[in-house]
């Protein structure tokens, strides 16, 4: 899932001396030259990368400095994959990508985009990579999370204090494991961008093209800011305003999430015969709020797994992101309502999957990958997350009035960054350039709300913004996920990556028709 967006994007002017070589020193070898000119050894990808192997990909390891300020010191390795361009006569170069997170691995992600890119993909070597410390790259390993204790009778304050304990425990698990304190300060988006540029150079390319979604969009903005002369075609989908802290961005989602729930409630009311959750939007929403009020004192048990209010809010948030999830959310609320009344229930696949995750250490494990970069990106407290738990509690209580469903989640969820054992190595700086960038954004995105993308668009003076009025997190390639595609946006991305010009002006794509 997409967790917390990147709050601070980083400027080239603040790059460390290892990469910013003065013109007067141009005749001297770059401290990173040995990384940029390394010889890669290609071979089969790991057995677990079935899609890559079936596509004829090869994989390699790119050696990069752990600390770009000390390139003669310790090194780590970045796992990369390559699927050669099919249209060699019109080959443009290499296309890298990132699927988001933060904490998402991407060794096979660029290849997965090929069906949506159509002929544009044939003009590139499709390059996937796992960001530093993730997947098959040199890892950061934290101590395993203990199995969660089944929640019993509780209260909003007890649930909040449990979340504080969990966040502190995650930070301690990562800080206590092996030599992590030497690695954690170097887990940052700025360093991932530097790694991308080493990948580019090691592949023998003067420039790279890139597609990123969600956190991957923010990463693309970071790369374009740090390495403007090395960019070819940059496409970023569902981005944020990097001038807000991560906690601020998390809180900004509260209002759009409530609006998304209102849309779902209206749809569900129109299907009241099927779901029996109310004949008006107000009655449907009231039922959700009753469920949460009950779960704030007595968790609702489904298939033997108790779900307290924080877990329900997290589950509802994942489903309300996309209009196509409306039936799944309605089915789940119907099941939870029946379970709360003591009636026998059978969860559908969506709810059953979440129940398995809630009953394991899976949620805690998911938090770790995102925390590495949330906590390593600029500023102290790490990533801009307040260190005082009472500040979260106060914001959580204030937000209940106009955000009764999602306010306690976006205002009260405390990240491990509040207790992170190391400070970020580099400060956050601000985006501002005229690098050509194609931006995509859904107007009713309730994960990274639309105003943030508009703000970034203004700072990327050379960018063009393609908007579509849908409730979705992500615009390009929605058909790959079984959602209704936006053909206009897909065509715009394919045309630009094929070598066409950046659109002359911003545009709005027609929304796909709702056939439900």
* pLDDT above 50 (res 19): no
- pLDDT band per the 50, 70, 90 thresholds, residue 381: low
DSSP letters, 277-338, are S-SSHHHHHHHHHHHHHHHTTSPEEETTEEE-HHHHHHHHHHHHT-GGGHHHHHHHHHHHHH
pLDDT confidence of residue 384: 82
DSSP letters, 102-152, are TT---TTHHHHTHHHHGGGGGGEEEEEEPPTBSTTSSB--PPPPPPPPPP-
Give me the catalytic one of 214, 238, 239, 463: 214
Mean pLDDT over residues 101-114, rounded? 95
Cβ neighbourhood burial of 168 (10 Å; 0-12, 13-18, 19+): middle
Contact 382, 424 (CB under 8 A): yes
Q: Please indicate whether residue 15 or residue 195 has the higher confidence score (pLDDT).
A: 195
Contact 62, 38 (CB under 8 A): yes
pLDDT confidence of residue 380: 58
CATH class of 34-139+187-243+430-509: alpha beta
d(CA 240, CA 252): 11
Mean pLDDT over residues 352-366, rounded? 88
Q: Which of 13-17, 97-101, 484-488 has the lowest mean pLDDT?
A: 13-17
Mean pLDDT over residues 28-57, rounded? 92
- pLDDT band per the 50, 70, 90 thresholds, residue 37: very high
Contact 167, 387 (CB under 8 A): no
- pLDDT band per the 50, 70, 90 thresholds, residue 10: very low
352, two tokens: 């059953």
Q: Which of 492, 486, 441, 434 is nearest to 460 (CA)?
A: 434
Would you call 445 a catalytic residue per the annotation?
A: yes
Give me the catalytic one of 332, 377, 473, 490: 473
* pLDDT above 60 (res 289): yes
Contact 170, 148 (CB under 8 A): no
DSSP letters, 431-445, are --B---EEEEEETT-
- pLDDT band per the 50, 70, 90 thresholds, residue 4: very low
The model carries a pTM of: 0.92
Mean pLDDT over residues 281-301, rounded? 97
Would you call 159 a catalytic residue per the annotation?
A: no
Give me the catalytic one of 197, 218, 237, 445: 445
For the chain, the distance separating the N- and C-terminal CA atoms, rounded to the nearest angstrom, is 25
The residues spanned by each domain of the chain are 34-139+187-243+430-509, 156-178+251-419
pLDDT one-digit tens code per residue, 457-479: 999 999 999 999 999 999 999 99
Would you call 498 a catalytic residue per the annotation?
A: no
């Amino acid at each position: 899932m997409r967790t917390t967006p990147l709050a601070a994007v980083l400027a080239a002017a603040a790059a460390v001396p290892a990469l910013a070589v003065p013109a007067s020193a141009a005749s001297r070898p770059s401290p990173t030259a040995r990384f940029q000119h390394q010889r890669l050894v290609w071979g089969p990808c790991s057995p677990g990368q079935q899609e890559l192997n079936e596509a004829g990909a090869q994989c390699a390891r790119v050696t990069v400095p752990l600390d770009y300020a000390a390139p003669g010191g310790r090194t780590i390795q970045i796992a990369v994959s390559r699927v050669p361009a099919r249209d060699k006569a019109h080959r443009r170069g290499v296309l890298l990508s990132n699927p988001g997170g933060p904490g998402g691995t991407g060794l096979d992600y660029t290849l997965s985009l090929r069906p949506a890119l159509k002929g544009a993909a044939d003009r590139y070597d499709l390059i996937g990579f796992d960001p530093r410390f993730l997947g098959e790259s040199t890892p950061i390993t934290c101590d395993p999370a203990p199995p969660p204790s089944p929640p019993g009778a509780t209260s909003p304050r007890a649930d909040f204090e449990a979340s504080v304990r969990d966040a502190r425990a995650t930070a301690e698990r990562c800080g206590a494991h092996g030599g992590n304190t030497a690695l954690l300060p170097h887990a940052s988006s700025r360093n991932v961008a530097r790694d991308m540029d080493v990948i580019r150079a090691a592949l023998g390319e003067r420039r790279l093209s890139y597609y990123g979604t969600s956190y991957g969009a923010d990463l693309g903005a970071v790369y374009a800011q740090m390495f403007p002369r090395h960019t070819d075609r940059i496409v970023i989908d569902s981005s944020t305003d990097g001038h807000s802290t991560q906690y601020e961005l998390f809180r900004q989602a509260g209002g759009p999430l409530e609006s998304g729930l209102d849309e779902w409630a209206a749809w569900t009311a129109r299907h009241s015969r099927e779901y029996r959750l109310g004949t008006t939007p107000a009655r449907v929403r009231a039922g959700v709020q009753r469920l949460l009020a009950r779960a704030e004192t007595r968790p609702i048990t489904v298939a033997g797994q108790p779900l307290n209010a924080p877990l329900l809010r997290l589950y509802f948030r994942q489903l309300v992101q996309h209009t196509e999830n409306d039936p799944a959310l309605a089915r789940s609320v119907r099941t939870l309502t029946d379970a709360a009344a003591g009636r026998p229930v059978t969860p559908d696949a969506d709810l059953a999957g979440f129940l398995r995750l809630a009953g394991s250490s899976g949620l805690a494990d998911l938090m770790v990958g995102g925390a590495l970069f949330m906590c390593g990106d600029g500023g102290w407290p790490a990533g801009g997350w307040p260190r005082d738990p009472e500040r979260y509690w106060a914001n959580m209580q204030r937000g209940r009035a106009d955000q009764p469903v999602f306010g306690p989640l976006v205002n009260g969820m405390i990240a491990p960054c509040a207790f992170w054992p190391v400070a970020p190595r580099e400060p956050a700086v601000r985006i501002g350039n005229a690098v050509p960038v194609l931006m995509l954004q859904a107007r009713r995105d309730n994960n990274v709300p639309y105003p943030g993308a508009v703000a970034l668009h203004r700072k990327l003076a050379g960018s063009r913004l393609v908007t579509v009025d849908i409730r979705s997190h992500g615009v390009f390639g929605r058909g790959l996920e079984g959602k209704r595609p936006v053909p206009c946006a897909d065509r715009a991305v394919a045309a630009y990556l094929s070598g066409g010009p950046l659109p002359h002006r911003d545009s709005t794509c027609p929304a796909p028709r709702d056939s439900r």
